[in-house]
Chain A
Amino acid sequence: MYDVKKAMTARASRREIVKGGAALGVGALGLGRLDNRIAAAQDGGTLEVFSWWTSPGEAPALQALFDAYLAAHPGVEIINAAVAGGAGVNAIAVLQTRLQGNQPPDSWQTHIGRELIDQYVVPGYCEPITDIYTAEGWADVMPEALVEQATWESEQYSIPVGVHRGNGFWYNRQVMADNGIEVGDTMSIEEFMTAADTLQSAGIPALALAMKDTFPGAQLFENTLLGVAGAETYNALFRGETSWDDQAVRDAADATAAMLDYVNEDFSALSWDQAVALVIEGGAGFNSMGDWAYGEVVARNAQDNIGWVSHPGTAGSFVLVVDSFTLPVGAPNPENARNWLTVLGSKEAQEAFNPLKGSIPPRTDANRELFSPYHQWSMDSFANDALVPSCAHGQASSPAFKQAFYDASTSFVTDKDVDTYIAMLSDAAAMDAEATA
């Protein structure tokens, strides 16, 4: 039946929007919003989801979330506003522009921890979703240390959908066997050094490093720091309770410098996936990388030849790299957005999403059978180990400190100058403390 009233509102809002659009001179934006409003007047409305999941491994995983949503809420049109670019480097720039211009999507992807809190919650771009947490009982099925990272002043602000483990240490079984190196269930830094010497005398770089996209150098140090200093000191450093010129940091930098003596020479020209490929092809022994590396292993069908342990010294800790979704202030379709978040927290959605994405569910009650042997190993670690945030992936610090950490690491992997490195990290921490004060 033709609903006159509905059509009238649609027309009124159309006129209003066109007027607003013309006044602003932002024709394209106006039209975009116009389409939204018309659709909203006709059915269940729209839901615009912003993410950086566009790669062949990521897009189907995102689609699985959309499918789960549509199964529960048919009639809603989902707008996939994904922006390509690894680790969201381009997407975050686009999102910042939209938020500053008061044009938020209905929900966007972000890492939990400081990335969520500093970039979005404190500036006032996010609505709390504590009531959804309570209604769905999420706090009971997710580890406390995880929920804590989505929390600001006792309110929750995002729902985690997938957990990556940042402190993986991947190795080529064939290369190890050929050189008589045995890798057990865990590895210490000393054990790595011994193996590295053996590989070096065989002419193989022990550690594959890739600095084209910078984060692997920062990640290498962060993992080694965790291995040398332990989870407690690691957390204290990023909370500002321990100073960066602490002896533990110096020891970790020394250990990292020693490891850097065994890297491939062309590291500055490689991207992280090329470093993983180097290990898969036997061109290097080990690679310190988050478990998105396992996606590369699967893509190259090399599961049988690639083994893993925790980064040397970090067994018993789990470096969190967690994707989550938010509820914006002024979401164009708040009801749909809240439904979206509710679906994301469900066991079904997380079980559909994570096997495709190559991560594990934040919910500890998911069905293990759906996951690969590596991910089952990671799930055990997630359930039992100390959960610490990653700085290289934005969860442990402000964006400004993260950038300073990247910059310091870029210099450090080349000059291995421990004193300068520690001075740069201390300066960055001081500047950060001043900025937040």
Chain B
Amino acid sequence: MAVTSPALAHEASPATAAVRRNRFSFERILSPLLLAPSAVAIFIFVYGFIGYTFFVSLSNWRSAKPDMTIREPFGAVYGDLFGQTRFQIDLRNTVVFTLFFLLMAVLGGLGLAILLDRHIKGSGFFRSVFLFPYALSFITTGVAWSWIFNPETGVNLLINATGVNDILAAYDVGPLNPGWITNPAVVWQLNQPIAAIYPPAGEWSLKLGIPLAMIPVAIAAAWQLSGFAMAMFLAGLGTISHEVREAASLDGASDWRLYKDVIIPLLNPITVSVLIILTHVSLKIFDLVFAMSGKGPGFATDVPGIFVYEMIFRAQRYNYGAAAAIVMLVGVSIVIVPYLARQLKSL
């Protein structure tokens, strides 16, 4: 330790040793002392309440009055929770949303970063422009995009203005008028293929597929967070030295090969960080969906966050809400914990 070595060096003088020892011990407790308040606060308000939430999720608390007796059989709340069609739909939606959102945000962010990295004129201006959406609150984004993807007011008017529908009408084809966030369809359903192998799947009330209404929501989320991904990638690109690029060019690599085989592989650590951070945003998403489409037609855009909110504050089924919150926490942990473990190891 840096503090100990000067103290040891002066050990020879016994008169000052006591003072030194005092100061030494004071300094030694100083940093734990300073950290203690936040450590205690984190211990109580994070881990304490996680424990409390877990306890509630096992309890009988399903009315306005807390009832902390443990529900029999142990863990029955979780059984009921996973048996509920709405919660199954929520899990499906989370997976679909995460996939689309990650794909669009990461590719979008990477694309923007590469364009800006080429030092075109006004790149500083565009960097700010692309980063701005990240500064907005999800509620603002949600409200604005709900107008854009409302079939009566938004992007459909734009489609009409292009005259596409006049052309379609000329060929006796119905107008192109997507329902966006109001479309209840679930496409690419896997129920039948799975039922062929595992017959009980034919009875599932959950439609295992892609709810189309979720895609506009993922677009809005990607619009907001691709600026963040861009900033991360730009930082990564900044660390790639000119020598590497020049070496690749001297070896005759085209721009395409340069990015595909040299730069993007070098950005891998950044990509992993971006993916992890965006995934945990996606698993916890609530406000954007709540403001933009709510539960959606037939729960097409419902997510576990909304489920938790409604179970606790509307239905007063505190144990259900707590159980769903714990499921969300486990989901996030599965993504975050290995990442943190790896980061800590590399320190």
User: Which A residues have a C-beta under 8 Å from some C-beta of B?
Assistant: 89, 92-93, 96, 99-100, 118-120, 122-125, 211-214, 265-269, 398-400, 402-404, 406-407, 410-411, 413-415, 420, 424, 435
Given contacts A123-B64, A268-B213, 19 further A-B contacts (CB under 8 A): A92-B313, A119-B316, A123-B63, A214-B294, A265-B151, A266-B179, A267-B182, A268-B294, A268-B300, A399-B315, A400-B315, A403-B311, A403-B314, A403-B315, A410-B295, A411-B85, A411-B299, A414-B298, A420-B205
CA distance A122 to B313 in the complex (A): 18
| CB contact between A269 and one of B63, B182, B315 (< 8 Å): that residue | B182
A268 touches B293 (CB 8 A): yes
Q: Which residues of A contact B315 (CB under 8 A)?
A: 399-400, 402-404
Query: What are 20 A-B residue pairs whose CB atoms fall within 8 Å in the complex?
Result: A100-B66, A122-B65, A123-B65, A212-B294, A265-B182, A266-B179, A267-B297, A268-B181, A268-B184, A268-B294, A268-B296, A398-B63, A400-B62, A400-B315, A403-B317, A407-B299, A411-B298, A414-B184, A414-B300, A420-B205
Shortest CB–CB separation between residue A402 and chain B, in angstroms? 7
Do A269 and B299 form a contact, CB below 8 Å, given A119-B64, A403-B311?
A: no
B255 contacts the other chain (CB 8 A): no
B314 touches A269 (CB 8 A): no
CA distance A413 to B86 in the complex (A): 15
B11 contacts the other chain (CB 8 A): no
**SS of B interface (majority):** loop
Do A89 and B314 form a contact, CB below 8 Å, given A414-B184, A414-B298?
A: yes
Shortest CB–CB separation between residue B325 and chain A, in angstroms? 15
Q: Which residues of A contact B295 (CB under 8 A)?
A: 214, 410
B261 contacts the other chain (CB 8 A): no
B152 contacts the other chain (CB 8 A): yes
Q: Which residues of A contact B246 (CB under 8 A)?
A: none
CA distance A253 to B300 in the complex (A): 22
Q: Which residues of B contact A212 (CB under 8 A)?
A: 294
Mask for B279-308, Cβ within 8 A of A = 1, else 0? 000000000000001111111100000000
Q: Which residues of B contact A398 (CB under 8 A)?
A: 63
Q: Which residues of A contact B205 (CB under 8 A)?
A: 420
Interface residues of B in 16-65 (CB under 8 A from A): 62-65
Q: Which residues of A contact B294 (CB under 8 A)?
A: 212-214, 268
B297 touches A96 (CB 8 A): no
| CB contact between B314 and one of A100, A122, A399 (< 8 Å): that residue | A399
CA distance A411 to B302 in the complex (A): 11
B146 contacts the other chain (CB 8 A): yes
CA distance A222 to B310 in the complex (A): 21
Shortest CB–CB separation between residue A146 and chain B, in angstroms? 23
CA distance A404 to B80 in the complex (A): 13
B182 touches A268 (CB 8 A): yes
CA distance A435 to B67 in the complex (A): 12
B88 contacts the other chain (CB 8 A): no
Instruction: Return the chain B residue nearest A424 by Cβ.
Output: B85
Nearest 3 CB-CB pairings of A with B: A414-B298, A403-B315, A123-B65
A269 touches B151 (CB 8 A): yes
Instruction: Return the chain B residue nearest A96 by Cβ.
Output: B64
B165 contacts the other chain (CB 8 A): no
CA distance A398 to B65 in the complex (A): 13
B293 touches A269 (CB 8 A): yes
| CB contact between B152 and one of A120, A266, A406, A413 (< 8 Å): that residue | A266
A96 touches B316 (CB 8 A): yes
Instruction: Return the chain B residue nearest A414 by Cβ.
Output: B298
Q: Which residues of A contact B296 (CB under 8 A)?
A: 268
B271 contacts the other chain (CB 8 A): no
A120 touches B293 (CB 8 A): no
